[in-house]
Structure 1
Amino acid sequence: MRKIFAIFSIVALGLTGCLSAKATQPMDLLTQTAWELSSINGKKVDAASLPNGVPTAIFDKEHKISGNSSCNGYGGSYNLNDEGGMNVSQIMATKMYCEGSIENEYFKAIEKINTAKVEKDKLTLMEGVDERLVFVPKK
């Protein structure tokens, strides 16, 4: 009887592990987090030098992206496939002028991405193997 209970416990733990692994799929990690930019084109973002804030990105399950570009609010569409391929398109933004913004560099970088690496504490958007935008969960 103890052997049957032990086998049942092992099987139950294995199934629980499988279920929790599904909860951390790339799409789930991507859409369950509000992201804040930590580096752009290999350079660390200096929040103190951005009077209007650090760029942000929110990805939803309907394949829409939105956020702030360090000046203007923006929105668009994205696609993410199972192999990590990603693109962002149809970006539209408000048109305020902001001194000290990195908005132009941010939008140029986001247009170039074709790969995403989604982790629990880090989102890396790349052009090939070159890191363009690295995000961390927004605090």
Structure 2
Amino acid sequence: MKKLSGILILTILLGLSSCSSVGNLNPLSLLTGNNWVLNSMLGKALDPAKFAGGLPFLNFQEGGKLAGFAGCNNFNGNFNLEGTSLKLDPGAMTRKACPGDGEKDFTSALSQVANFKVNKNKLTLLDGAAKELMSFIPQAKP
């Protein structure tokens, strides 16, 4: 019985340590390697008609570089990541005239991002009060 208890305790400890290693992933590795396509804004489903050129996306790159598409214009900027704190700077953006408010709403939300979380292939950008600003899903790979 003592041997069985010892094995059970060891199994539980190994299970807990393997779970904690998932929590210790490098936050940068959670962001990079995908084009993150906009899925919702302010907790509401998207109206694709607001984005004449297609759905916005973000691409986090090594070295704090950020590239993306805002629904009409492309941008290249930077991001600053410290733990789960995240600041986005879209930087230089092309200047095509765009119908509707989708791009303006998207870039406004980008400026409010303070942190993020990633769950089951979903990136959620939050303001400082844990309010969801936008969510993204990885772009399907061909």
Is the pair's TM-score, using the shorter chain for normalization, greater than 0.5?
yes
Q: Which residue of 2 aligns with 1:78?
A: 79
> TM-score, structure 1 length as denominator?
0.77
Write the distance in 1 (CA, Å) between the matches of 2:126 and 2:24: 24
Relative to structure 2, which stretch is displaced further, 67-76 or 120-129?
120-129
In 1, are the aligned partners of 2:41 and 2:134 still within 8 Å (CA)? yes
Q: Deviations over 1:63-85 (max 9, x none)?
A: 11111100000111101112x11
Q: Structure 1: give runs of 5+ residues left out of the alignment.
A: 1-9
Offset at residue 49 of structure 1 (A): 4.9
Matched, 1:53 2:43: no
Mark the CA change 1:112 to 1:22 in structure 2 (over 3 Å): closer, same or farther. Answer: closer
Letter in 2 for 1:92: A
Q: Deviations over 1:25-73 (max 9, x none)?
A: 3211200111000011222113355331000000001111111100000
Q: Which residue of 1 aligns with 2:39?
A: 38
Q: Structure 2: give runs of 5+ residues left out of the alignment.
A: 1-10
Aligned residue pairs total 124
In 2, are the aligned partners of 1:59 and 1:65 still within 8 Å (CA)? yes
Matched, 1:69 2:85: no
Q: Which residue of 1 aligns with 2:5?
A: none
**Identity, % of aligned positions:** 33
Write the distance in 2 (CA, Å) between the matches of 1:42 and 1:113: 14
In 1, are the aligned partners of 2:37 and 2:137 still within 8 Å (CA)? yes
Letter in 1 for 2:58: A
Letter in 2 for 1:125: L
Q: Which residue of 1 aligns with 2:26?
A: 25
Write the distance in 1 (CA, Å) between the matches of 2:48 and 2:25: 29
In 1, are the aligned partners of 2:75 and 2:90 still within 8 Å (CA)? no
Offset at residue 137 of structure 1 (A): 0.5
Q: Which residue of 2 aligns with 1:3?
A: none
Q: Which residue of 2 aligns with 1:6?
A: none
What value does the CA root-mean-square deviation take over the aligned residues? Answer: 2.4
Offset at residue 105 of structure 1 (A): 0.5
Write the distance in 1 (CA, Å) between the matches of 2:49 and 2:89: 29
Offset at residue 118 of structure 1 (A): 2.5
In 1, are the aligned partners of 2:51 and 2:103 still within 8 Å (CA)? no
Matched, 1:119 2:119: yes
Mark the CA change 1:49 to 1:110 in structure 2 (over 3 Å): closer, same or farther. Answer: closer
